Amino acid sequence: MNKRSKTKTSRLKRLFATCAKVAGLLLLFGLVAGGALMAWYMKGLSEVVVAKFEGKKWEIPAQIYSDSKIIYPGMALDLERLDEQLRRLGYRRTQDEPRQKGEYRIDGKSGRADVYLREFNYPLRDFKGFSLRISTKSGVIRELERVDRNEQLASVELEPELLTGFYDRVWEQRKVVRLDEIPPLVRDTILAVEDERFYYHRGVDPVAVARAAVVNLQRGSVVQGGSTLTQQLMKNFFLDSERTLERKVKEALMAVVAEWKYSKEEIFENYLNEIYLGQNGAQGIFGVWEGSQFYFSKDPSQLTPGEAAMLTGLIRAPNRYSPYRNVEEATRRRNTVLAKMLQDKIISREAYETAVAEAIEPRQPVRARNGAPYFTDYLRKELADNYTKEDLTAEGLRIFTSLDMELQAQAERALSRGLEDLEKRYRHLRRKGEKDNLQGAIVVIKPQTGEIKAMVGGRDYQQSQFNRVAQSKRQPGSIFKPFVYIAALEYGSKATGRLYSPAMLVEDAQFTWTFEGQEWRPENYKDRYYGTVSVQEALERSLNAATARIARDVGIENVREMAYRLGIESPLPALPSLTLGSVEVAPLEVARAFGTLANNGVRTNVLAIKNVVDHQGVGLERRHVRVRKVLSPQIAYLANHMLQGVIDRGSGRGVRARGFKKPAAGKTGTTNDARDAWFVGYTPDLLAVVWVGFDHQTELGLAGSEAALPIWTDFMKLATEDTPATDFVRPPGLVAVAIDPETGYRATAFCPRHVRDYFPKGSAPEQFCPLHRAFDATNQQRVISVFPSEGKEATQ
Amino acid sequence: MSREEARRERPATAREPAPPPPVPPPTRRPAPPQDRYSIPTPKPRPKSPQQVAALHRVDRARALIASGQYARAIADLEKTLSLDATNPLVYFYLARAHHELAHFQESLDFLEVADSFSDGESVSRIELLILQGDNLRRLGRLSEARQSYEQALAIDPGNEKARARLRLVAKQS
C-alpha cells in the first residue's frame, strides 16, 4: 500500500471514530433527555393519580328521602298499595315465606302479608330488620306480629323511600363500600373474569396483552381485551372511552404509577366502587353495592352464585347484558361466567348446576324518577342557607323530608286531571300551545305537625319550574274572610265589647265604610243581599257586605292581627278591602294559617326537611316540629264548626255533592275580578289548599267552588280513602247559653227569638237582652224553664 | 179448712189473678230539630286505633327519656303527633325532652299546648307547673317561675319539689 492510501484510511478511521463518538454522545444525550422527559411526564401522571386516589374520588349527590310511615292495628291497609310501596322500596316479592331481608309475600285471599324488613340507617332511630307478619281482615290491620319473637306489636314504622337526588350534570348513583364488605364470592368472580392475574402483574400484564393479540388476530377483530383491572380503573377515573394508541399508552402508564403507589387492595376497592353497571332512567348505576341493589334488591353479601355471575357479566357491557333488556343475552353471559367460576373452583359442581338451571325472570326495574320536582326545588332553597351547591351535589348527604309519596302522586293526578277537565268544560280556558296555559297548585300539610305532605307547584314542571305554592302571591279573595269571623269571636265589637257568636244576627245590606277619609262600598256577588242573617250563615254564604260590616265593628287592626297570629306572613294593608282578601298571599301561608284552626288553635311551623346526615350517617342538622298555642281550643272549635257549615250547607257544598262525606271544614275563595279561584279544606288530620288561575292574570271567570273545589274533592277522596273518619274534637270549656240573636245578649222570655249558642267559658254574655224587656227576676225564672237542661249543659 | 187449704182446693177453672201489666217503655223526649247551631255533646268514646298506637309510643318515649335518650324521644314523639295530636301526654313528654336538651322556649310551647288539652287526669297539673317553672327559671324569667311553683304549691302545699324550686328562685333573685 502506498503512502497516500495509508493516509486516506487513517483519515477515514478517525472520521468514523469521531462520528461514533458524536453518535454515542447524541444517543446518551437522547437517552438522558428522553429519560428526563419521561420522568417529568410520569411525575405529572403520578400527581394526577395521587390526587384522585387521595382526594375526593366521586361526586355523590345528596339523596332525598320521603317520610317514614307508621302502620298499626286498626288502620285500614290496602294490600295492593302495600305491594306497590314495597316494590318502590326495592323489596322482592316471593311466593314462599320470606327468608331474607328485603323479601315479602302477599296473600290477598287470606289478607296476610309477610315482610322481612331491612335495616335502614335513619337518624336517631334504628330500622332493624326482622320478619313481620301483617294480618288484615276486610282491609283493616288486625294484627302486627314480629315472627321471630312471636310478639304482638303496637305499631311498626316502614322505612322512607328514595325520592330523588341533587345532582349536577349526571346522577351517579353509588354507595361507597370497603373491600371487606364485598363477599369473597363476588370478589373472586370479578377477578376471575376481568383480571385473573391481578395479583401477579404491576399494572400492565404482558401475558394478557399477548394472549389478546393472538386471539384478535385469529378472529380478525378486537374480541378480547388485554387490559388489567388497574388499567380499567384508570380509564374510568380519567380517560374517555376513545380507543386510540395514545390513550392506551397513557392508561398503561397510569396503571403502572397506581400499582407503584398503592396496594392491590386499595386499587381493587376503588375498582369495585367505580365500575359502571347500567342505567336507570337519568340515574347511572355505579359500584357493586348499587348494582346489587338495582338488579337484585340485595346487599352484595346476599347474592347467590348465579347473581354474582350475572353482576360480574354486566361489567363488559351493562346495557347489552342487562336482564331488564334481554333475558336471553343475560342468561348466556351469566352462564359463561358461571363456567369460569367452576373452572377456577370458585363454586362447586353442584352449585354450578343449580345456578345454571335458575331461570332469570323478566322484571321491570323500579324506575328512578324525579318525583315531586317542585318540592325538590323548594328543599334546595331551604337548604341554601347552610349548604353549598358542592355540598348538595357531591358530598353524599342524605336528606330526610316530610313528603308522603302516595299523597304526592295523588295530588299530582288530581291537579292534572282537574285542570284538563276545566279546559274541556270551559272553552275560554283553552290555550293553543303552552304559553299561558291554565295553571294550578296544590299543597297538602299535616296540621298537627306542619309537615308538608305533598307539593305540586304547577301543571307541568318541564314547562314551567315556577313554584306557585311557595313563590306565587295571589289575591285570596273570600279565603280571607274566616279571619274576620275569628277576630269577631275573639275580640268582639270595638264599640260595645260584646263578643260575636255564630247565631248572632248581622245585616247583609249595602253600606258605606268610611275609613281614614276614604269611602268603600263592599258589594255582594251578583249584587244579591240577604238582609238579616246569622254570623254563621254570612260565612257559609260568603257574604261580602255582612263580612265587611262585622270587620268594621271588630276593627281592621284586629282582623290583621288575627291573620298574622294564625300564620299569614305577607304584609297586610290596614284597609277595609283587606276583609275581602284584597292582598297577596302564597298558598303555603294559607295552608299554615288554616292549619292552625285544624290543629285546635295551635300554630306550627311549616316543615319540609326533618334531618340531614352526612355520607357516614353522622347527623348534621335536625329540624323539629315547633308549636305555639295562638288561639284557644274553644274559639278554634267554633271556627271549625262554622267552616264545616260552609261545606255542609254553604258555598263549599259541592264537596258533599261530589261524594266526600267525611267531617271536614273549608272555605271557597274567588277574587272580585275572577282571576283567582281557591279552595282550602281540611279534616282534623289533613289539610289541602288548591289554587287555579292564569300566570299572566287573565280572567278565569270561575268561582272557587267551580274551579278549585272539584280538584280538592278529587284529591281528598283518594287521600282519605283508607283513613277512618275523625271529627273535630270538642274541647272542654264551651258553654251553651240561650241568646237573643238580634242583640247577642242573654235571651229573656220576651225576646221573639232564642237560639242556643256557644261561647268559651267565662266569655258568655252575662247581661240580659235590654231590647225587648227590662230585666227582672220573674223573667229570668221563665228563661230557665224554657231550656230545662240548661243547668246540666251550662258548663262542661 | 184453712184459707191455705181452700186455696189449694180451688177448682182449676177459677180465674188466676191477672199478670201485672207490662212496664211501659220509658218515654223519650223528642230530639230537638237539627239546626246549624247545634254542637253535639261529646259522648265518652273508646280510644281509636290511632290513639291506642299513640299511647304505646308515648310509653316507649317515656322509657327513652328515663334512659337519657332525649333526642330520640323527641323524634319518636313528633312522629306520634301525626297519630294523635290531642293527647296531652305527647306534648308533655315533648316538653320534658326539650327541657333536658336545654330547649327551654320549645319546652314552654309544648307545655302550653299540653295544658290546653289536659283533662286533669293524664297529665299531672303539678308536674306541668313545676316543669313550666323550671323552663322559666332557666330563661331568666324568675317572677313567672315563682308564680308557677306557687301555683303548684297551692294544689299540693306539701310538694317538696316545688318548695325546693322556690328556694332556688329566691337564691337567684
List, for residues A94-124, the tens digit of each pLDDT value: 999 999 889 999 999 999 999 999 988 888 7
Query: What dihedral do alpha carbons A390, A396, A399, A404 form, nearest 10°?
Result: 120
Q: Is A577 a catalytic residue?
A: no
Give the C-alpha separation, B71 to A124, whole Å: 7
Q: Which of A403-412, A718-727, B1-10, B134-143 has the lowest mean pLDDT?
A: B1-10
Give the C-alpha separation, A644 to A583, whole Å: 25
Stretch A431-441: mean pLDDT: 84
Amino acid found at A706: E
CB-based contact A125 B76, cutoff 8 Å: yes
**Interchain contact A633–B (C-beta under 8 A):** yes
Give the C-alpha separation, A314 to A327, whole Å: 12
What's the confidence (pLDDT) of residue A73?
94
Q: Which of A430-434, A454-458, A603-607, A729-733 has the lowest mean pLDDT?
A: A430-434
Averaged pLDDT of chain A: 89
CB-based contact A73 B52, cutoff 8 Å: yes
Provide the β-strand partners of residue A126: A121
Higher pLDDT, A170 or A201: A201
Instruction: Provide the shortest C-alpha distance from residue A700 to chain B (in Å).
Output: 33
Nearest residue on chain A to B94, alpha-carbon basis: A625
Give the C-alpha separation, A761 to A740, whole Å: 18
Q: Do A304 and A298 contact (CB within 8 A), yes or no?
A: no
Give the C-alpha separation, A133 to A121, whole Å: 22
pLDDT of A295 over the 80 cut: yes
pLDDT of A776 over the 70 cut: no
Q: What is the pTM of this model?
A: 0.82
Nearest residue on chain A to B80, alpha-carbon basis: A70
Task: Give whole-number Cα distances, B12 to A493, A752, B8, B15, in Å.
Answer: 84, 68, 10, 8
Interval B122-143: pLDDT, tens:
788 999 999 999 999 999 999 9
Stretch B100-104: mean pLDDT: 96
- What's the distance, CA A645 to chain centroid? 34
pLDDT of A749 over the 90 cut: no
| Closest CA relative to residue B134, chosen from B93, B165, B155 | B165
Report residue A434's pLDDT band, with 50, 70 and 90 as the boundaries: low
Task: Give the position of cell 292582598.
Answer: A583
| Beta strand ranges found along B9-161 (DSSP E) | none
Interval A220-256: pLDDT, tens:
766 667 789 999 998 888 766 666 777 888 888 889 9
CB-based contact A649 B36, cutoff 8 Å: yes
Q: Provide the CB-side half-sphere exposure for A590 (13 A, CA).
A: 39
Mutate to test the interface with A, among B28, B38, B50, B101 (most CBs of A within 10 A): B50
Instruction: Provide the shortest C-alpha distance from residue A573 to chain B (in Å).
Output: 29
Q: What is the DSSP letter of A281?
A: T
Helix boundaries (H) for A576-699: 587-598, 633-648, 654-657
| Chain B residues whose beta carbon lies within 8 Å of the beta carbon of residue A537 | 36
CB-based contact A645 B36, cutoff 8 Å: yes
pLDDT of B27 over the 70 cut: no
Q: Which helix (H) or strand (E) holds A164?
A: strand A162-166
Mutate to test the interface with B, among A72, A125, A648 (most CBs of B within 10 A): A72
Among partner residues A449, A536, A601, which is closest to B36 by beta-carbon distance? A536
Report residue A786's pLDDT band, with 50, 70 and 90 as the boundaries: very low
Mutate to test the interface with A, among B37, B99, B115 (most CBs of A within 10 A): B37
Give the C-alpha separation, A759 to A499, whole Å: 9
pLDDT of B59 over the 90 cut: yes
| Closest CA relative to residue A187, chosen from A291, A272, A295 | A272
pLDDT of B26 over the 50 cut: no
Contacts (Cβ under 8 Å, ≥6 apart) of A250: A45, A239
| Chain B residues whose beta carbon lies within 8 Å of the beta carbon of residue A503 | 37
Interval A122-162: pLDDT, tens:
887 767 789 999 999 999 999 999 999 999 999 999 999 98
Active-site entry in A103, A159, A161, A194: A194
**Interchain contact A601–B (C-beta under 8 A):** yes
| Chain B residues whose beta carbon lies within 8 Å of the beta carbon of residue A627 | 91, 109-110, 113
| Chain B residues whose beta carbon lies within 8 Å of the beta carbon of residue A73 | 49, 52-53
Among partner residues A124, A155, A632, which is closest to B75 by beta-carbon distance? A124
| Closest CA relative to residue A759, chosen from A779, A739, A788 | A739
Provide the β-strand partners of residue B31: none
Q: Do B75 and A124 contact (CB within 8 A), yes or no?
A: yes
What's the confidence (pLDDT) of residue A335?
95
Is ipTM beyond 0.90? no
Instruction: Provide the shortest C-alpha distance from residue B26 to chain A (in Å).
Output: 18
pLDDT of A199 over the 90 cut: yes
Instruction: Provide the shortest C-alpha distance from residue B170 to chain A (in Å).
Output: 29
Nearest residue on chain B to A629, alpha-carbon basis: B113
Mutate to test the interface with B, among A537, A539, A624 (most CBs of B within 10 A): A624
**Interchain contact A451–B (C-beta under 8 A):** yes
Q: Is A464 a catalytic residue?
A: no
pLDDT of A446 over the 80 cut: yes
What's the confidence (pLDDT) of residue A239?
63
CB-based contact A540 B36, cutoff 8 Å: yes
Interval B61-99: pLDDT, tens:
999 999 999 999 999 999 999 888 888 999 999 999 999
| Closest CA relative to residue A470, chosen from A380, A362, A400 | A380
**Interchain contact A788–B (C-beta under 8 A):** no
CB-based contact A68 B79, cutoff 8 Å: yes
| Residues on B contacting A at a C-beta cutoff of 8 Å | 35-42, 48-50, 52-53, 56-57, 71-72, 74-76, 78-79, 81-83, 85-86, 91, 94, 98, 103, 106, 109-110, 112-113, 116-117, 119
Q: Mapped to the 3 state alphabet, what secondary structure does A730-774 carry?
A: CCCCEEEEEECCCCCCECCCCCCCCEEEEEECCCCCCCECCCCCC
Q: Which of A71-75, A364-368, A408-412, A591-595 has the lowest mean pLDDT?
A: A364-368
Give the C-alpha separation, A556 to A565, whole Å: 14
Stretch A184-197: mean pLDDT: 94
Task: Give whole-number Cα distances, A133 to A77, A98, A145, A401, A785, in Å.
Answer: 13, 10, 5, 27, 60
Instruction: Provide the shortest C-alpha distance from residue A384 to chain B (in Å).
Output: 24
